[in-house]
Amino acid sequence: MSAVRRRWLPMPAQSLILFLVWLLLNNSVAPGHLLLATFFALVIPWLVAPMQMEQPRVVKHWVAVRYTLTVLYDILVANFEVALRVLGPTRKLQPAFVAVPLDVEGALPITILASTISLTPGTVSAEVSEDRQWIYIHVLHLEDERALIDQIKSRYETPIKEIFGC
Amino acid sequence: MLTTTILIVSGMICVALIMNLARLLTGPDLPDRILALDTLYINSIGLILLFGLHKGSILYFEGALLIAMLGFVSTAALCKYLLRGDIIE
Amino acid sequence: MNPIVELIICVFLLMGGLFVLLGSFGLLKLPDFYTRLHAPTKATTLGLAGLLIGSMIYFFVNEQRLVVHELLITLFLLITAPVSAHMMAKTALHHKIRVLKRTSGQELTGAARERREPPFDSA
């Protein structure tokens, strides 16, 4: 059964996303579009599956949902903070480069962590070291380096580790 | 009320576009200019959306979506070009 | 149209416009490239999300049907904004862009450029 599924539906999550995006793009649920969306959702993954790279799987879906909500909330709240910083006097800014040690492994979890760091205001991820042990970030206004690293590790990295079970 | 708001917000975005243009022209280094271009395209998506609201037509979303995609690809391509040029040296 | 709905749309649009303006203002005002990078990538994304939510409500009320294109654009921007920010920061690092003098941790830029581990144990 599983072999049959892997043969004909190699990427179920991506198939679902394709199906939904096609319907969203056309903004309709007419039978024709449903048929076309199903066709694309089946054929495109079948064509690109050989190019797929092995990625860690999402283990805990609920943590993923909670993590998304946390990040959205953080984006909203912290944006106001950066807005005040931008409007306030430039002289008071204390920008900094900080190196954060990475505990997560694999390309996808590190990408998600880096994107989260870039989206939550005040920090931009700039570079990942070759051995994937350190991520370099630029901070708009640094007050306490230790606290910032601890916050990134506890608030973002721990849930990511939980989600991917690594 | 809505018509006035749309006009006001369009004005705000136009001011933002002018600021981006100033950064694009003055920006001391190449990455500054890329950043200005990136912001320009994102702001123009906002302007197109507002125009769609003003006309009450959903046709403009296709254009906005296209600009979003092409803008991202062009930013990525410009960065990649600058990076690779540096690496080959 | 219901005046309350209209008010909600106006609030979303104004908030979006303000954040877009703020992002560009930061782009113009802040002193060096790395600090400039912060303003447009985040404030503008949030501003555009505000505009998109406003127009989504408008078309939902006015056309009596769900218009979800906007969600697609928001999602797309949310995914691409950090990626392009990361690429631009990387480009700036490799081009040795001038850094604001009082930036702390400048000794890290050399290590970051060569993708090594930091020169001392900062953790």
Q: Domains in chain B, ordered, with CATH?
A: 2-88 (1.10.287)
Least trusted range by pLDDT, from A145-154, B9-18, B37-46: A145-154
**pLDDT tier at B87 (50, 70, 90 boundaries)?**
very low
Query: For residue B15, what pLDDT is reported?
Result: 93
Domain ranges of chain C: 3-98
Query: For residue A1, what pLDDT is reported?
Result: 52
Q: Which chains touch B (3 or more CB pairs under 8 A)?
A: C
Residues 6+ apart with CB under 8 A from B46: B13, C16, C17, C20, C47, C48, C51
Residues in C closer than 8 angstroms to A138, CB to CB, are 34, 37-38, 89
Q: Which residue does chain A place closest to C19, by CA atoms?
A: A83
Contact A71, A159 (CB under 8 A): no
Segment C41-82, tens digit of pLDDT:
888 888 888 998 888 888 888 877 667 777 888 888 888 888
- Residue pairs spanning A and C at CB distance below 8 A: 144
A147 in C contact zone (CB under 8 Å): no
Contact A104, A157 (CB under 8 A): yes
- Inter-chain contact C93–A114, Cβ cutoff 8 Å? no
**pLDDT tier at B13 (50, 70, 90 boundaries)?**
very high
Query: For residue A126, what pLDDT is reported?
Result: 83
Distance from CA of B48 to the nearest CA of C (A): 11
Residue C2: closest CA among C56, C62, C53: C62
- Inter-chain contact C14–B9, Cβ cutoff 8 Å? yes
Query: For residue B89, what pLDDT is reported?
Result: 41
- Angle (CA) A55-A58-A63 rounded to 5° is 145
Residue to substitute from C42, C53, C65, C87, interface A, most A β-carbons within 10 A = C42
Quote the tokens at residue C114. Answer: 């060569």
pLDDT > 90? residue B11: yes
Segment A13-71, tens digit of pLDDT:
788 888 888 887 777 778 888 898 888 888 888 888 777 777 777 777 788 888 889 88
Of C78 and C1, the one with more pLDDT: C78
- The answer for B 17-36 residues in CB contact with C (under 8 A) is 17, 19-20, 22-23, 28-32, 34-36
Identify which of C14, C40, C95 has the shortest CB distance to residue B39.
C40
Of B1 and C8, the one with more pLDDT: C8
Query: For residue B88, what pLDDT is reported?
Result: 44
Quote the ipTM score.
Answer: 0.85
pLDDT > 70? residue A102: yes
**pLDDT tier at A138 (50, 70, 90 boundaries)?**
confident
Mean pLDDT of B27-50: 88
Mean pLDDT of B52-78: 87
pLDDT > 80? residue B43: yes
Q: Domains in chain A, ordered, with CATH?
A: 2-51 (no CATH), 61-164 (3.30.70)
Across chain A, mean pLDDT equals 82
Q: Which of A69-83, B2-16, B48-62, B75-89 has the highest mean pLDDT?
A: B2-16
- Inter-chain contact C123–A149, Cβ cutoff 8 Å? yes
For A100, list phi and psi in degrees, rounded to 5: -110, 125
pLDDT > 70? residue C14: yes
Residue to substitute from C7, C8, C28, interface B, most B β-carbons within 10 A = C28
pLDDT > 80? residue A137: yes
- Angle (CA) C63-C69-C70 rounded to 5° is 95
